[in-house]
Amino acid sequence: MQQFDTVRALRWTGTTLELLDQRRLPHERVVLKCTRAQNVAEAIRDMVVRGAPAIGVAAAFGVVLAAQHATDVARIRIEIQKLAESRPTAVNLFWALERMGKVLDAGGDAVRLEQEALSIETEDIAANRRMGELGATLIEPGLAVLTHCNTGSLATAGYGTALGVIRSAYAQQRITQVFADETRPWLQGARLTAWELQQDGIPVTLQCEGAAASLLRTGQVGWVIVGADRITANGDTANKIGTYGLAILARHHGVKFMVVAPSSTFDLSLAHGNLIPIETRPMSEITSLAGVPIAPAGVAAWNPSFDVTPADLIDAIVTERGVIEQPTADAVRALLA
């Protein structure tokens, strides 16, 4: 691994998918060993592994485990269906399962499926490195950046999407420091992004997301840089809840807004963002913190896990195939269709 890139969320041994349990970070490094497809589906559902590309890679290895243990193809297809039901918003999951399904349709055995899963993993890291290079060139040196959720090595096969751009830009001395939103309610920013950047020696300052407006007003931040869970044909982008608000704040304060996502995050079958299925998670994630109740018993809570940022609030979408500035349906089609 290279400088500023030392963390990995997944490791495939040939018979087991080892997942760094992201629910236990930053205090404990616990590895969960998945030997069956069902273990992988549960790990995705329970947020052991999370982040759109990482979910896709994990699911691909889940299909390999299914094939290694199944006695017939029908059984593998049932396991694929269960993997597909683990989380609804990140399209990388369905993209990876479709790719594995095509290998199965063509008569591929467990060995061939393993090759495909390994390709998905390797291609994701390569895409992230390419996006890192492309995104970093957009950043004029001298200012800080603000990011949301965790989009790093923990959220991908390695290097990261938005955090990959941040890694590359930091290595090129283009950014002074990184501000990370804590990202309620799962605290991916506090628990994961702050930890991951610390591991790699990149200076990070944590803030609650309510501080974003005040931070952007100071003029210290040149770009807000985020990942994506699904991007529709017109460039509308679903990402962690709170991203849409950041895009509005960025536009209001004259700060640029960058989305970084591989082509596997695009869903060209959907015309616009209102069509994206948004995961709603349990109320208890809002009404309690680390298992301790913080709200009156019985209060209602609304807990959408993602929101949609309209394309016209996005200055650049960085993909491994190139950069789309001021995204429109025509520009997305020209790059990806």
Query: Active-site positions?
Result: 229
The least CB distance from residue 116 to ligand MRU, in Å, is 21
Rounded Cα distance, 220 and 231, in Å: 29
Query: Which amino acid makes up residue 302?
Result: W
Q: Is 44 in the site for ligand MRU (CB under 6 A)?
A: no
Whose Cβ is closer to ligand MRU: residue 68's or residue 147's?
A: 147
Record the tokens describing residue 250, joined without a space.
């960025």
Record the tokens describing residue 103, joined without a space.
């290998």
The least CB distance from residue 75 to ligand MRU, in Å, is 28
Phi, psi of 202 (to 5 degrees): -105, 125
- DSSP three-state, residue 12: strand
Which residue carries 């291609």 as its tokens? 123
The least CB distance from residue 296 to ligand MRU, in Å, is 26
Whose Cβ is closer to ligand MRU: residue 19's or residue 67's?
A: 19
Cα-Cα end-to-end distance for the chain: 33
Whose Cβ is closer to ligand MRU: residue 36's or residue 281's?
A: 281
Record the tokens describing residue 212, joined without a space.
């974003």
Whose Cβ is closer to ligand MRU: residue 232's or residue 305's?
A: 305
Find the DSSP H helices in the chain: 37-45, 52-69, 73-84, 91-105, 110-136, 162-171, 194-199, 212-217, 243-253, 284-287, 329-336
Q: Is 40 in the site for ligand MRU (CB under 6 A)?
A: no
Q: Is 319 in the site for ligand MRU (CB under 6 A)?
A: no
Q: Is 161 in the site for ligand MRU (CB under 6 A)?
A: yes
Of 9, 20, 37, 53, the one binding ligand MRU by CB under 6 A: 53
The least CB distance from residue 76 to ligand MRU, in Å, is 25
In the β-sheet with 230-232, what is the strand arrangement from edge to edge?
Answer: 266-267, 230-232, 237-240, 306-309
Rounded Cα distance, 39 and 132, in Å: 32
Q: Is 227 in the site for ligand MRU (CB under 6 A)?
A: yes
Of 188, 237, 287, 309, the one binding ligand MRU by CB under 6 A: 188
Q: Is 149 in the site for ligand MRU (CB under 6 A)?
A: yes
Of 5, 48, 51, 88, the one binding ligand MRU by CB under 6 A: 51
Whose Cβ is closer to ligand MRU: residue 90's or residue 247's?
A: 90
Q: Is 121 in the site for ligand MRU (CB under 6 A)?
A: no
The least CB distance from residue 239 to ligand MRU, in Å, is 5
Q: Is 86 in the site for ligand MRU (CB under 6 A)?
A: no
The least CB distance from residue 260 to ligand MRU, in Å, is 8
Q: Is 68 in the site for ligand MRU (CB under 6 A)?
A: no
The answer to whether the Cα torsion of 305, 318, 1, 14 is positive or negative is positive
Beta bridge partners of 10: 19
| 274-291: burial string, b at 16+ Cβ within 10 Å, e else | eebebeebeeeebbeeee
Whose Cβ is closer to ligand MRU: residue 168's or residue 305's?
A: 305
Largest CA-CA distance found in the chain, in angstroms, rounded: 62
| 223-242: burial string, b at 16+ Cβ within 10 Å, e else | bbbbbbbbbbbbbbbbbbbb
- DSSP three-state, residue 147: strand
Residue count at the site for ligand MRU (CB under 6 A)?
17
Binding segment for ligand MRU (CB under 6 A), chosen from 71-79, 154-162, 209-217, 287-295, is: 154-162
Whose Cβ is closer to ligand MRU: residue 174's or residue 230's?
A: 230
Q: Is 305 in the site for ligand MRU (CB under 6 A)?
A: yes
Binding site for ligand MRU (CB under 6 A): 50-53, 90, 149, 151, 155-156, 161, 188, 227-229, 239-240, 305
